[in-house]
Amino acid sequence: MKAIITATELAHDLTGANPPVLLDVRWQLSMAKAAGAPAFDGRAEYAAGHLPGAVFVDLDAELASAPGERGRHPLPDLKEFGAAMRRAGVSPGRPVVVYDGGQGWAAARAWWLLRWTGHPDVRVLDGGLPAWEGTLSTDVPAPAQGDFEPVPGPGGLLDADAAAALARSGVLLDARAAERYRGDVEPIDRVGGHIPGAVSAPTTENVTADGRFLPAEELRARFKNLGATQDAEVGVYCGSGVSAAHEALALAVAGIPAALYVGSWSEWSSDPSRPVATGPDPQ
């Protein structure tokens, strides 16, 4: 199954006998609130115009639980997540296409959660909303109730201890910006740096200037240079398990399975007893 879909492919599939459920997950990491400015409002963006038939999904409320010791975007309560997906019309027998405002991070978080909990056919719109050339709608749909029941599969998820072990035994990729990996700056978390042994792999380098993923062969070459191949045990993390989901999606496009450390640096760095590495070298 492909992990991403082009706008042209999506337009075709929407006219088919089993059109996909569309989920709009517009969200972005913003420091505006800390500066006293209004925070990004994905629901307002959705209300101003979305793909016809798309249902808005709130990343903070439906794809994560409340911030705390497990990080800024811990796993959601699976009963609540399942209820949110069913309200959106999600069923295992119908494909799902997820999109966001173009960055791809939020859409990837929804993709990862649905795949990890057993949905067999989920794709992300490559390039997000800006890639869509069709009309937009302001109508709020009322989809028929879905029957998706999330059941986590074996593997695919890392906790802090497993992430630390994987950094020694396999390949643990850090999807954040390189300056945060090195510890040069840390605008959000308690301390800067990275998990010892993790390799810097900013997820922004997986896409072109318009937010579309690089071709699969280019992604495979990039990840091979970082030590991540189909034969390696690979994991990813970021600040709070959102941009790392985008890296996991890029790895999937390249044909490389990867596990996600959802707590990521926001959980790791909150515990002063955990080691922190700084600088460009993994150790």
Spatial CB neighbours of 13, under 8 Å, sequence gap ≥ 6: 5, 19, 20, 95, 97
Residue corresponding to tokens 């396999």? 170
Structure tokens at 78: 């699976």
How far is the CA of 62 from the CAs of 52, 66, 79, in angstroms?
Answer: 21, 10, 10
The closest of 160, 175, 178 to 274, measured between CA atoms, is 160
CA geometry: angle 134, 207, 157, nearest 5 deg: 105
Active site residue 238: yes
User: What are the DSSP E strand ranges found in the chain?
Assistant: 4-5, 21-24, 55-56, 96-99, 122-125, 157-158, 171-174, 199-200, 234-237, 259-261
Catalytic, out of 63, 75, 164, 238: 238
d(CA 50, CA 53) in angstroms, rounded, equals 8
Three-class SS of residue 237? strand
Kindly list the catalytic residues.
238
